[in-house]
Structure 1
Amino acid sequence: MTDKIAIVLAVLICGILAADHFVFGWDLHIFLGRKLLQLTNYLAFWR
């Protein structure tokens, strides 16, 4: 991994965490977890 890629990933992760704090009030991980659970249930239905 080059330094440029590492910096871009670090900035992206920090931006997501900042958006989670200021916009969602630290509830983004709960929202994403619920959506992932719905997706796995939907895919399990088609299995």
Structure 2
Amino acid sequence: MTAKTSEPAMTHRLAIILGLLIIVAFAVDYAFYDTKHLVFLAKKMLDLIEWLAFWR
């Protein structure tokens, strides 16, 4: 059983902060590494999605 709390798990403020952190991480990767890491992560994410779809 889960405990009921009055506060939501993800507030708007937290979502905005996490979104900005992700955007900053993408910008830094683009500025310093020319999207090498973004392409790698995108490929790995697609592999993960295919693997999860197998277990569906």
Q: Kindly indicate which of the two structures has a greater share of residues assigned to helix.
A: 1
Q: Indicate yes or no: 2:29 matched with 1:11.
A: no
Unmatched 5+ residue regions in structure 2? Answer: 1-9, 41-56
Paired with 1:28 and 1:4, the residues of 2 have a C-alpha distance of 28
Match of 1:23 among 24, 32, 54: 32
Aligned length: 32
Calculate the TM-score normalised by the size of structure 2: 0.48
Considering only CA atoms, is the larger Rg found in Structure 1 or Structure 2? Answer: 2
Calculate the TM-score normalised by the size of structure 1: 0.56
What RMSD in Å do the two structures reach over aligned CA positions? Answer: 1.8
Question: What secondary structure sits across from 1:23 in the alignment?
Answer: helix
Unmatched 5+ residue regions in structure 1? Answer: 31-47
